[in-house]
Structure 1
């Protein structure tokens, strides 16, 4: 069984492309998204200070969580899983 682990919350384009390659070319069938609470990047996004490459995903999470930073970490994971499912990945 081939497994890819994504141990960061945000799925940016380069990560998505890499995982897509792993799925299509290397036979990876499972991708695990491992989130965590009190994410510094999510906290920065809630303050409009997120790193530029992470802005699209990280800015959506606090809004979806009504700016509750603890819940926003979970929202980032949900957004990541949605992007990966769009590839047809089992997450």
Structure 2
């Protein structure tokens, strides 16, 4: 079965989940880096990383919204899934 035979909604769901999860992994991993940078006394770098990570997230969800409601909804689900993954990884590391 090729992608051309799939309904567009299925493609939106798969693409939204994939992109949302990847964006979430990037977003929450860099949040952890921001906290580390702030704790070692590098607020300039932390603000720059924070701005970049929020910009990437906004751009990602803007593109998903342009693709359609299912892509946006599944992207949000992927973001929350990635949050769980990163939180579990950080908790195990402690």
Larger Rg: 2
Q: Does the pair score TM above 0.5? A: no
Q: Which has the higher strand share?
A: 1
TM-score range, shorter chain: 0.3 to 0.5
Length-normalised TM-score, structure 2: 0.32
